């Protein structure tokens, strides 16, 4: 499994007319929402192929996980497919990780894009194959007509242009919890999935890295518990910085969550900046995991190199 050393492999940039696959490793999407999201990809000039098992649910029984693995492998094996976009989140992505052919991915690098429950696969693929992966909005859940925004759509642009991306308070009102400057590759994703990965071959490796953390609908005490778990596991010992995405909590929980984050990170020896438009939010902006980035706090800003070549 151990692969993450040296230079990360970047997939090729997209061009209009490229064929891309949509798969559902974390659960079947709503058909109407998926079709709306596919229309958004088509408006970008992409030709969309739907994985054979995208709509497989519990009726698939014991074959369900293998079917989802097959869709991942089929997308990477097909030389005409240039990117793999996940349909939506859900649960169960972790079950795929031991069954994936990471050598296949290493030898057939292409864009792999998703977030939430897909955090587990983003980290597993990045570690196992050395391939840059992408934490970004998903086809059915974020590109449907009700959810999509111009900001979300615009975050696909770097996949075509290969340009670096800068996030600052023009994107969202960023706040600083700990000052400084840090440079390193971006890793991370959903807090629950990062915590669940600890003690496995797929756990996040943060030495010399900038750690992304986002979450959805978790109460303050759970966020505090998971952050404490990561701290005691050494996750924050050698990080270069932390970027906090959206935590999308109920209104009555917002002040408690803010206090937890402030108490936890205020005395950090590395920069910590919050309210980035990453995760369960709108707009939800895509970023490359494994790409190098610089996080600074005067003013708060994140500059990320391109994740494609």
The one catalytic residue in 123, 214, 218, 240 is 214
CB atoms within 10 A of CB 238: 13
Annotated catalytic, 214?
A: yes
Residue 189: which of 56, 94, 70, 84 has the closest Cα? 94
The one catalytic residue in 53, 93, 116, 306 is 116
The DSSP letter of residue 28 is P
Structure tokens that stand for 277 in this block: 């438009």
Residue 260: which of 173, 189, 177 has the closest Cα? 177
Annotated catalytic, 116?
A: yes
The one catalytic residue in 172, 215, 280, 296 is 280
Q: Round to whole Å and give the CA distance between 288 and 1.
A: 21
304: phi then psi, degrees, rounded to nearest 5: -120, 130
Residue 289: C-alpha distances to residues 45, 59, 70, 144, 211 (Å) = 24, 34, 24, 24, 10
293: phi then psi, degrees, rounded to nearest 5: -150, 160
Residue 134: which of 107, 105, 112, 149 has the closest Cα? 112
Annotated catalytic, 155?
A: no
In the Cβ-directed half-sphere of 169, how many Cα atoms lie within 13 Å? 10
Catalytic residue list = 116, 214, 280
């Amino acid at each position: 499994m151990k692969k993450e050393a040296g230079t990360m492999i970047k997939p090729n940039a997209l061009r209009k007319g490229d064929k891309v696959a949509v798969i559902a490793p974390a659960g079947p999407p709503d058909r109407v929402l998926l079709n709306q999201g596919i229309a958004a990809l088509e408006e970008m000039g992409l030709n969309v192929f739907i994985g054979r098992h995208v709509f497989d649910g519990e009726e698939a029984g014991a074959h369900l996980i293998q079917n989802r693995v097959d869709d991942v492998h089929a997308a990477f094996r097909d030389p005409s497919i240039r990117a793999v976009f996940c349909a939506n989140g859900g649960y169960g992505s972790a079950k795929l990780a031991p069954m994936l052919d990471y050598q296949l991915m290493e030898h057939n690098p292409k864009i792999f894009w998703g977030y939430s429950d897909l955090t587990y696969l983003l980290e597993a693929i990045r570690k196992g194959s050395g391939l840059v992966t992408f934490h970004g909005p998903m086809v059915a859940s974020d590109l449907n007509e009700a959810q999509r925004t111009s900001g979300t759509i615009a975050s696909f642009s770097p996949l075509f242009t290969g340009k670096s991306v800068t996030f600052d308070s023009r994107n969202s009102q960023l706040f600083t919890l700990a000052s400084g400057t840090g440079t390193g590759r971006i890793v991370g994703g959903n807090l629950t999935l990062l915590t669940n990965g600890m003690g496995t071959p797929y756990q996040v490796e943060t030495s010399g890295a900038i750690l992304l953390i986002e979450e959805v609908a978790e109460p303050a005490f759970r966020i505090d518990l998971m952050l404490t778990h990561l701290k005691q596991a050494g996750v924050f010992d050698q990080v270069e910085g932390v970027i906090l995405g959206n935590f999308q909590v109920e209104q009555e929980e917002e002040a408690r969550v803010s206090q937890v984050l402030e108490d936890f990170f205020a005395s950090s020896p590395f920069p910590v900046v919050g309210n980035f438009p990453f995760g369960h939010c709108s707009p939800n902006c895509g970023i490359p995991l494994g790409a190098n980035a610089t996080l600074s706090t005067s003013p708060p800003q994140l500059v990320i190199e391109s994740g494609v070549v």
